[in-house]
Amino acid sequence: ELDVEAANTLPDFEFRRQTARILIECASIPDGPHATDCAQAAIRCLGSMFAESDEDTEVWYLTGCAYMALQPPQPETALLYWEKAMETLKATKEALLKGDDGDHEQDFDDIDRKMEEVR
């Protein structure tokens, strides 16, 4: 029951996403004394988000970035998360194509741009 209560007191999804971004940015400061602490905090923050939505591309992408911000970086783990981010983007694009009514040109451009970022 304690876990349920803890989950109900978490800040909203978007707040945690922004917090993770800031923590990753802090972890990326060259020779920053708290780089690993910030990266680990970002990983924990993002991990709490997977329980709510494991289809959010940006959460997968940011988690990979957080693993690269660790000291030392963990590129193999980061790559796993980035590959999952790419899979979710491709799935989103395929879903839009199946139901394409011609109004998704901007969506396709956004997805293609994000796929380039992940690559």
Mean pLDDT throughout 35-48? 95
- Encoded tokens for 102: 């011609």
Cα distance between residue 68 and residue 78, in whole Å: 6
Task: Give the pTM.
Answer: 0.80
**Is residue 27 within 8 Å of 35, Cβ to Cβ?**
yes
Q: Max CA-CA distance within the chain?
A: 52
Q: With pLDDT > 90 as the criterion, what percentage of the chain qualifies?
A: 55
Q: Name which residue leads in pLDDT, 111 or 38.
A: 38
What is the DSSP code string of 17-78?
A: HHHHHHHHHHHTSTT-TTHHHHHHHHHHHHHHHHTT-TT-HHHHHHHHHHHHHSSS--HHHH
